[in-house]
Amino acid sequence: MKNINEGIESLAGIKSNLFGKDFLLTWEKSDNDLRTILGVAEVLREMRKQNISPRVFDSGLAISNFRDNSTRTRFSFASACNLLGLAVQDLDEEKSQIAHGETVRETANMISFLSDFIGIRDDIFLGEGNKYMREVGAALDEGFENGVLPVRPGIVNLQCDMDHPTQSMADLMHLKDIYGSIESLRGKKIVMSWAYSPSYGKPLSVPQGIIALMSRFGMQIELAYPEGYDLIPGIVEIAEKNALESGGSLTISHSMEEAMKDADIVYPKSWAPFHIMLLRTQLLKDGDKSGLKDLEQLCLSNNAKFTEWEYNEARMKLTKNGSALYMHCLPADISGVSCKKGEVSAPAFEKSRIQTYREAGFKPYVIAAMMFANKFENPAEALSKIMERDRRRFSF
C-alpha cells in the first residue's frame, strides 16, 4: 500500500457482507469479505505506523474467553481491542458461575450488557469448539431480539476445532506483504506438512485453516503427513473444491522430502490424527483420566515412529533455490532448543526466526479489521472519517 488514502480508495470498490456478522470460518466468507479484512487491516497497520489513532469506541468491553492456553492470539486480541478503543475483560470460567452449572445462553447474556465483542478460543474438543461459538451467538441473538442487550456483540473465532481464521488470515496478509499482492500467490507452491512433536493432542485447526484459505488463491498446495495423520475429511474436501475453482491444486503425499521439492513456502507443523482427536474428545467428555493417560502414551509412541519428520537444512535445500519462505504459527518445537527433537532444526528455524515474528505481527491488525468490518457497513467511509479528524495516537 503506497499510502493510507490509496488503501481506503481501493477498499471503497469492494462490496462485502461483514457488517453485523460473526467471523467464525473463512470458508463461510466470500472473496470480497476476505479482501476487505486484508484491506482494513493494512490501513489500520499504516495508521499505527503514522501515529494516527483509529479509536472508534469511547467505551465498551471486549470479552476474552480462552478455553485453552495462548500467548500470541491472546495478546493480539487485547491489542486489537485497545487499538479501536475497547477495554478487555477476561472470562475465567473457573471463577465464574459457569463452574456452578450456569448455562451458555445465560452466561452469554450476562457478560454482554455493555460489550461489543466476544473473542473465543475453544479448540480442545473435536466437534464442539465451533458448535459452542454458535451456541453463544444464538444466545446473543435471543438477548438482543428481546431487548435484554442494547447491541448484539460480534463474535471472533480465536481458534476452534475446525479453523483458526485469525491465524490463517494473518498468514495470508504476511504472504501478500512478501509477494506484493494476492494475485502474485497464484501458482506458488506451499507445503503444509506434518512435523514431529514430542507432545500429542495438537489441534487440527491450523493446517485445516491454511489449506482451506490458501486454496482460494490459485496456489499449488501439497498436504504432507505420515499415513494415519489425516485431517477432518470434510474440510479437506472444501480445500479441494476451492483449489479446483481457483485454478490451483491440492495434492496429498506421505513423504516430507517429496513434498518439499521446489516449494516456495513451507509450513511444517505438528497435529494429532483426526481419529485420535475424536477419541480424545470422548474421553475428555467422560472424564476418563485413565483412558486419556493410556491414549497419550499410545500417541506419543506412534509419534516417535516419525521423528525424521523434521524440517532441517537438508530439506531446505530441496525447496526452490534452497530458500523457501518458512512459516509457523508459533511456538515451534525446535530441536535442541525447546525439546530434544522437534518440528524444525535449530539452524533452519534461526534462519527464519525474525520472519516468523513478522508473520505473527499481522494478527492484531487482522483481528481489529474483523471487528471494524463488523461494526461499520462501509469500512472505507469510516476509515476516511478517521483520517479527516486527524487525531494523533500520542503527541510530544
Residue-wise DSSP of 233-253: HHHHHHHHHHHHHHT-EEEEE
Whether residue 309 is predicted with pLDDT greater than 60 in this model: the reply is: yes
> Reduced to 3 states, what is the DSSP secondary structure of residue 222?
strand
pLDDT at 1 over 60: no
CA–CA separation, 97 and 47 (whole Å):
40
Question: Which residues are CB-contacts of 180 (< 8 A; sequence separation ≥ 6)?
Answer: none
The cell numbers describing 259, all together, are 513434498
Q: Assess whether pLDDT exceeds 80 at residue 360.
A: yes
Q: State the pLDDT at residue 99.
A: 64
Contacts of 48 (CB under 8 A, 6+ apart): 54, 83, 365, 393
Q: Per-residue confidence at 201, pLDDT binned at 50, 70, 90?
A: confident
Please check the confidence at residue 343 and state whether its pLDDT lies above 80: yes
Domains identified in the chain and CATH numbers: 4-163+364-389 (3.40.50.1370), 166-360 (3.40.50.1370)
Give the per-residue pLDDT at 285. Answer: 87
Nearest CA among 91, 98, 11, 108 for reference residue 383 = 11
Give alpha helix (H) positions in 287-362: 289-303, 313-318, 346-360
Say how far apart CA 207 and CA 191 lie, in whole Å: 10
Dist. CA 351–CA 363, nearest whole Å: 22
Phi, psi angle pair for 325, to nearest 5°: -70, 120
Q: At what angle do helices 72-84 and 363-375 cross, to 10 degrees?
A: 50
Say what percent of the chain tops pLDDT 90.
Answer: 93
Question: How many residues belong to the chain?
Answer: 396
Residue 118's pLDDT is what?
A: 98
Of the candidates 161, 64, 148, the one whose C-alpha atom is nearest the C-alpha of residue 105 is 148
Query: What pLDDT score was predicted for residue 101?
Result: 76
Average pLDDT over residues 134-153: 98
For CA atoms 383, 184, 49, 366, give the dihedral sign: positive
Structure confidence at residue 284 (pLDDT):
87
At 161 the pLDDT is 97
Tell me if the pTM is above 0.85.
yes
- The pLDDT confidence band at residue 147, using thresholds 50, 70 and 90, is very high
Higher pLDDT, 284 or 118: 118
pLDDT above 70 covers what percent of the chain?
A: 98
Residue 2: what pLDDT?
59
The alpha carbon of 195 is separated from its chain's Cα centroid by a whole number of angstroms, namely: 19
Sole residue written with cell 496429498: 252
- Say whether pLDDT at 268 is over 90: yes
Does 379 sit behind a cis peptide bond, omega within 30 degrees of 0 on the bond before it?
A: no
Mean pLDDT of 238-262: 98
Mean pLDDT of 336-356: 97
Q: What is the pLDDT of residue 339?
A: 96
Is the distance from CB of 340 to CB of 331 less than 8 angstroms?
no
Residue whose C-alpha is closest to residue 216's, from 192, 193, 195, 238: 238
